[in-house]
Amino acid sequence: MTSKTFAYVRISSKEQNIDRQIDAMHSLGIDDRDIFIDKQSGKDTDRPQYQLLKAVVREGDTVLFDSITRLSRNMDDIKKEYSEFSARGINLQFLKEPMLDTSNDTSDVMRQAINDIILTILGAFAQKEREEIRQRQKEGIEAARRRGKHLGRPKVRLTEELVKQFNQLYPRWKNGELTAVALMKEMGLKRNTFYNKVKLYEQRLIKEVIIYIKIKYLL
């Protein structure tokens, strides 16, 4: 069976920008359909797309991460997941920590020991960084509240012209005439804005179909 390469991308919240990690995976030839994305904290591994990825990958496959911190920010979880993937014969590659590539020969006892030490140290740093980030966030929120500042990111609103353009291009994208990347580039939209718009648009279409059915067949 032919092996495949997948990618896992994670950001801690919807407010963070995921484009850099996505672009890095695209540059390595990974298609969108093979990229698993979670917008969730790395405090543990209970993330829907990560768990789906683990269910999909098979022996001989490779999973790319931007950094070990994308796998988790908990030292014990990092070591556990790393060992589990290795035991299943699944290669892990971390763009920022290439020394942890599990496809390398680790049969040598000393090399394996060194690898374990590096993994423990990087895992400890990842966990420590998360604790520091949480503390800074807590202090920042408290400081902002004391000053009466509004917290939160303003919603992106499309102009009337962009809405019309989206309505024209959506069917072409849905029919496979345009890729999502091409449509986003054409409209100058970020990935999150595009997929949020798709969700709202399709919800509206469903409501319109339901209203039509009620009028035509039920009233």
The one-letter code for the residue type at 107 is S
The C-alpha angle 158, 163, 164, rounded to 5 degrees, equals 150
Q: pLDDT at position 203, please?
A: 72
Residue 188's nearest CA partner among 153, 162, 217 is 162
Residue 57's nearest CA partner among 92, 17, 83 is 92
Residue 214 DSSP one-character state: I
Alpha helix segments (H runs only) across 147-187 = 160-174, 180-187
Domain spans of the chain, in order of start: 5-146, 160-218
H or E element: which one contains 89? none
d(C-alpha 154, C-alpha 176), whole Å? 32
pTM of the prediction?
A: 0.55
The one-letter code for the residue type at 69 is T
d(C-alpha 5, C-alpha 64), whole Å? 7
Tokens, residue 110: 């000393």
d(C-alpha 167, C-alpha 24), whole Å? 30
Q: pLDDT at position 193, please?
A: 81
> What 3-state DSSP class applies to 16?
coil
d(C-alpha 215, C-alpha 219), whole Å? 5
Q: Is 86 an annotated catalytic residue? A: no
> What 3-state DSSP class applies to 91?
strand
pLDDT (tens digit, 0 to 9) for every residue of the chain, 219 residues total? 688 999 999 998 766 788 989 999 999 999 999 999 999 888 889 999 999 999 999 999 999 999 888 888 888 888 889 889 988 999 999 898 887 766 654 556 555 655 666 667 666 666 666 566 666 666 666 766 767 665 555 555 667 787 888 888 888 887 778 888 888 888 888 887 888 888 777 777 666 656 655 565 554
Query: What architecture is the 5-146 domain classified under in CATH?
Result: 3-Layer(aba) Sandwich (3.40)
In this structure, the strands spanning 62-65 and 91-94 are parallel
Neighbouring CB atoms inside 10 A of 31's CB total 11
Tell me which of 12, 27, 41, 72 is the catalytic residue.
12
